[in-house]
Amino acid sequence: MSNETIFSSFATVPYEGPTTDNELAYRWYDANRVVLGKPLKDHLRFAVAYWHSLAMTGSDPFGGPTILRPWMEPGDPIAQAKVKADAAFELFRVLDLPFFCFHDADIAPPADTLAGTLKNFHTIVDYLEEKMQTYKTKLLWGTANLFSHPRFMAGASTNPDPEVFAWSAVTVKNCMDATKRLSGSNYVLWGGREGYETLLNTNLKQELDQMGRFLALVVDYKHKIGFDGQILIEPKPKEPTSHQYDFDVATVYGFLKTYGLENEVRVNIEANHATLAGHSFEHEIASAGAFGILGSLDINRGDALLGWDTDQFPNDLWTMTMSMYHVIKAGGLGKGGCNFDAKVRRQSFTAEDMIYAHVGGADLCARAFLTAAKLIEDGKYDQILTDRYSKWKGERPADMLAGKFSLDQIEQMALANNINPKPRSGRQEQIENLLARAIYTDKV
Residue positions annotated with a catalytic role:
103, 106
Q: First CA to last CA across the chain, in angstroms?
A: 38
Bridge pairing between strands 138-143 and 186-189: parallel
Q: Tell me the backbone φ, ψ of residue 221, rounded to 5 degrees.
A: -70, -35
Amino acid identity, residue 75?
G
- The dihedral over CA atoms of 354, 94, 443, 327, expressed in degrees to the nearest 10, equals 80
Q: How far apart are CA 411 and CA 405, in angstroms?
A: 10
Determine the length of the chain. Answer: 444
25's CB contacts (< 8 A; 6+ apart) are: 13, 14, 15, 16, 359
Q: How far apart are CA 50 and CA 48, in angstroms?
A: 6
Strand partners, 422: none
Amino acid identity, residue 38?
K
b/e string for 93-110 if b means 16 or more Cβ within 10 A? bbbbbbbbbbbbbbbbbb
Q: How far apart are CA 96 and CA 47, in angstroms?
A: 10
Amino acid identity, residue 111?
A
Cis peptide before 423 (omega within 30 of 0): no
